[in-house]
């Protein structure tokens, strides 16, 4: 969804010839992170096998690692957006930071939901 949403927003900005750096960088960040997650998911999909207890335990451990990375992603996005605002209200940086925050929170919610099912 992130790839589709980001690409659609970027295309709409291109068609309207809108010079909004905030929306352009938000769209690029959302598409880029979505593409990375899609590639990682496709690579992991190839190794999917029937799950047993050991595999479920490995999945849970991996999810906790992913949750930590997503918290870091949200913190980095918050830092980028805040720094861009404080150092001159640079809308491109704010858009990129907000894109990281939105992507990180969405992935965090999905992973926490899956962990709650496994526990």
pLDDT band at 7 (very low <50, low <70, confident <90, very high): very high
pLDDT(116) > 70: yes
Residue 48: the pLDDT is: 66
Q: What share of the chain is helix, strand, coil (3-state, %, to 5)?
A: 85, 0, 15
Is there a contact between 73 and 100 (Cβ–Cβ < 8 Å)? yes
Closest by CA position to 79, among listed 112, 104, 106: 104
**Which tens digit of pLDDT belongs to each residue from 29-67?**
999 999 999 998 888 777 666 667 887 888 889 999 999
Structural domain boundaries in the chain: 2-118
Give pTM, 2 decimals.
0.84
């Amino acid at each position: 969804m992130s790839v589709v949403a980001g690409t659609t927003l970027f295309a709409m900005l291109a068609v309207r010839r809108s010079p909004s750096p905030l929306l352009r960088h938000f769209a690029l960040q959302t598409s880029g992170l979505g593409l990375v997650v899609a590639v990682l998911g496709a690579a992991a999909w190839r190794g999917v096998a029937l799950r047993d207890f050991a595999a479920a335990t490995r999945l849970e451990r991996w999810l906790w690692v992913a949750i930590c990375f997503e918290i870091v992603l949200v913190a980095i996005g918050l830092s980028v957006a805040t720094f861009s605002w404080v150092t001159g209200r640079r809308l491109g940086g704010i858009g990129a930071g907000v894109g990281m925050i939105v992507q990180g929170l969405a992935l965090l919610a999905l992973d926490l939901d899956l962990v709650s099912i496994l526990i």
